[in-house]
A and B are shown apart, each in its own frame.
With several copies, the nearest count.
Chain A
Amino acid sequence: MSSMQTVSHGSVFFSLVNRDIKLAWSQGGGSLLAIGFFFIAVSLFPFGIGPEPQVLARIAPGVIWVVALLSSVVSLDRLYQADYEDGSLDDLALSPLGMLGVATAKVLAHWFSTTLPLALAAPALGILLNLPDNAYGPLVASLLIGTPALSLIGSVGAALTVAVRRGGVLMFLLILPLYVPTLIFGVGAVDAAVTMTDPLPHLALLGATTLIAFVVGLFASVAALNLAME
């Protein structure tokens, strides 16, 4: 009956990560569908813009990055809200992890189940948009380095809007401006490759953005979550 038994925090942490990944891939599966959104939204652009290969090639890195942003936000929408609405956020608050652990686990799970697949799916869209051959490497590299920032920043927005019904769209407003630096450095790296200059400085800046997002994002998320639970 004593609560003083030692608990393995690592095991709790990974149970939560594991749960969230399973939920993301289960019924209604957030992950597969975010990738679906990514594909469909990117393929709408040629309809809108017309089929000329040079124009498409010119805008390809920008469009892929912008749509990656949008689809990551779309799937972030319910990052905390689902747990808040069904009461499991209350349970998690009483778990040995503490809110910081909870937020970290959930962001990790989101990145792994949703944003990472986006990065890996991007080359396929490059073909659709006629991306030059030498740009594929930097595209994937920039997405791999930059996407954790998307999950982390998005987590702040998701936590802030958790108590608001129809938070989804409000979140876009809060989040998208904060995504701008990631977007600029990410596209910068790909464009550098296209124009045959060195993408490394851009990637380094991108990495720095992700690190900052890591620290600021997690703490801001925790503060916002504690607020929502009151």
Chain B
Amino acid sequence: MFDGLGFQAKSGDFVSLTGKNGSGKSTFLRVLAGFIPASEGAMGFSVDGESATGVARDSFLMVGHMNGLKPAFSLRQNLQLFSRLMTGRHIDDDSLLEAACTFGLAALLDESVQYFSSGQRHRSALTRFCLVPRQIWLMDEPTVGLDAENRQALAGLIQRHIACGGIVIAATHDPMGVSGQTLNMDVFRPTGNPSVDEDWL
């Protein structure tokens, strides 16, 4: 699938995945998270020297095109729930408020998520990164639908995380405002014909 794709990430790295629509950014993030099995040889991704398939699932935190919010619950309930499901611990109100402030959601904490605008939803989903401490963040187009102010907040958040030794891998079409490696997925597209081999099975 990803012929010859390989890169190393170590603590403190920010990797931005770029490439045309359909070049496989989202798919690659799902492979990293372990949702899609990858044939070992084809992919040379390693974290801190360990091959990616060896990294425990609970080192990852991901936000994809969908936001994983329950419209029936208020934002506060959604965040509390997420924290409990990921860590097993209840989050106290102060930490919750602090997390919500990152993307300016404090005033909306007790509103039902159902009535949020698309950007408000997306910010609510991003807030998870402030709730649950995990090393590797996978983000699929995190800047989508954010206004200028919140894009800055996002850049700040990422910067703080990599400064603390985290790893952030983000697929994006917009400049993220964070310096780091760039992995252009277009380069790794299978060049030429996929061989119609008698051994294709």
Contact = CB atoms under 8 A, between A and B. Distances in A.
**Chains A and B bind each other:** yes
Interface of A: 1-3, 5, 7-12, 15-16, 19, 22-23, 26-28, 85-88, 90-98, 165, 229-230
Contacts of B30: 229-230
Given A87-B66, A91-B85, A92-B85, A3 B35 contact: no
A165 B113 CA distance: 13
Contacts of B133: 1-3, 5
Contact of A3 (B33, B66, B135): B135
Interface string B79-95: 00110111111000000
A24 B84 CA distance: 19
Contacts of B182: none
A23 B66 contact: no
Nearest to A84: B66
Nearest to B138: A94
Contact of B36 (A1, A7, A91, A230): A230
Interface of B: 30, 33-37, 56-62, 64-73, 81-82, 84-89, 133-135, 164-166
B88 A94 contact: no
Given A3-B133, A3-B135, A87-B67, A165 B72 contact: yes
17 contacts: A1-B135, A3-B134, A7-B87, A8-B88, A9-B88, A12-B87, A16-B85, A19-B81, A23-B70, A86-B67, A86-B70, A87-B64, A87-B67, A90-B64, A97-B85, A229-B35, A230-B36
Given A1-B166, A19-B81, A87 B65 contact: yes
A180 B111 CA distance: 40
B136 to A, nearest CB: 9
Contact of A165 (B34, B64, B71): B71
B88 A7 contact: yes
Contacts of B36: 229-230
Given A1-B166, A23-B72, A94 B58 contact: yes
Contacts of A10: 88
Q: Which of A11, A88, A93 has the most CB of B within 10 A?
A: A88
B53 to A, nearest CB: 15
B62 A90 contact: yes
Contact of B84 (A2, A5, A15, A23): A15
Contacts of A95: 58, 85-86
A8 to B, nearest CB: 4
A230 B1 CA distance: 14
B166 A15 contact: no
Contact of B72 (A2, A16, A27, A96): A27
Contacts of A87: 64-68
Given A3-B59, A11-B89, 13 more contacts: A1-B164, A7-B58, A7-B88, A10-B88, A12-B88, A15-B88, A19-B70, A28-B72, A87-B64, A88-B70, A91-B86, A94-B61, A230-B37
